[in-house]
Amino acid sequence: MIQHNLHRLLVKTAASLLAVGLCGCTEKIELDTDNAKPVIVIYGVLTDVPSFQEIEISSSTGYFNNQPNPKISDALVSITAEEGTEYTLSEVDTLPGLYRTSVLMSGTPGKRYTLNVKTDFDGDGVGETYTAETTMEQKIDLDSITVTTPEMMGYAFYSINMYAMDVPNKSYYLIRYQVNDSVYNKISKYIVFDDMGIEEQYIQAASIGYFPDVKEKERFTEEDSKHLTFIKRGDTVRIQLCSISKGYYNFLLQCQKEIAGENPFFGGPLSNVVTNLSKGAIGYFGSRTISEKQHIAPARK
């Protein structure tokens, strides 16, 4: 069963629901906590769903600075497909540092896309160009999901379970989830795993995580509750199963290990986080294919 193969992931998910959230880590990580010189931060993910694709651009801050990253305006941003089609992204008037395509676009599995960002980040009067490439992975089709009602250690949970066929070759996956209108779109909430042990097998009733029943909320401290996702009978639960590259997979895992990273970043340059951006920029330009299903949380038996 995939539950066993993904034990390292699911134990973190379930156990942290009883402790301090989804992003605990016991590995010792070396962090540069000095107020290092700011660097440019670029982050964006191209999807196969027709939409206004987005890139965020900001500047890093000191590690102990609790303020949001300063946004970078007036950059020239474009995404070019391997056959030469270029898409220009313009800064959103009401959201500085957020750049969006002017037309609906989508990526195609197997194709390579290049990001170009030109901005005078160092203020010397000459614009620097930062680039990155991503190749969109083969799509995995999510057949269905179910929501069940297990009890563990005296707590009532809801388990979200998925059904899908693993695609050929080594594969890396990202799961994002939504409960009713609440979208958990932060890197710290992402569930990432590879297909070790389940290569080209059918993934049947694999639990992606265990979420406390809302009736258990009073048993948690207010601080712990901030990190938990509670589900109740009748909630609409939606998940996206995404195929991602090995590089983007490593980036997400390392963000979670370093500082429970969010989207966008909030700290100084992370010492151990990979990037595919040129010229010393941090962040990542990735891609993902998306398959989405939803289910209604049932009554407890």
pLDDT in tens, 239-288: 999 999 999 999 999 888 875 544 444 444 455 688 999 999 999 999 99
Instruction: Provide the strand spans (E) within the chain.
Output: 40-47, 54-59, 76-81, 86-92, 95-101, 112-119, 128-135, 142-148, 151-152, 155-165, 172-179, 182-183, 191-194, 202-212, 236-244, 282-296
> Of the candidates 151, 154, 142, 158, which has an alpha carbon nearest to the alpha carbon of residue 298?
158
Residue 160: pLDDT over 50:
yes
229 and 80 both lie in a single domain: no
In a domain, 116, yes or no: yes
Residues 23 and 151 both lie in one domain: yes
CATH of the domain at 111: 2.60.40
In a domain, 298, yes or no: no
Does residue 125 lie in a domain region?
yes
Contact 267, 259 (CB under 8 A): yes
Please report, for the chain, how many H helices and E strands are present, in that order.
4, 16
Q: Which two tokens stand for residue 46?
A: 């191209």
pLDDT at 238: 96
- Dist. CA 216–CA 153, nearest whole Å: 12
Structural domain count of the chain:
2
Strands 54-59 and 76-81: unpaired
Is the preceding peptide bond at 264 cis, omega within 30 degrees of 0? yes
Same domain, 146 and 271: no
Q: pTM for the whole thing?
A: 0.83
Contact in structure between 210 and 158 (CB atoms under 8 Å): yes
Q: Looking at the structure, do residues 244 and 177 belong to the same domain, yes or no?
A: yes
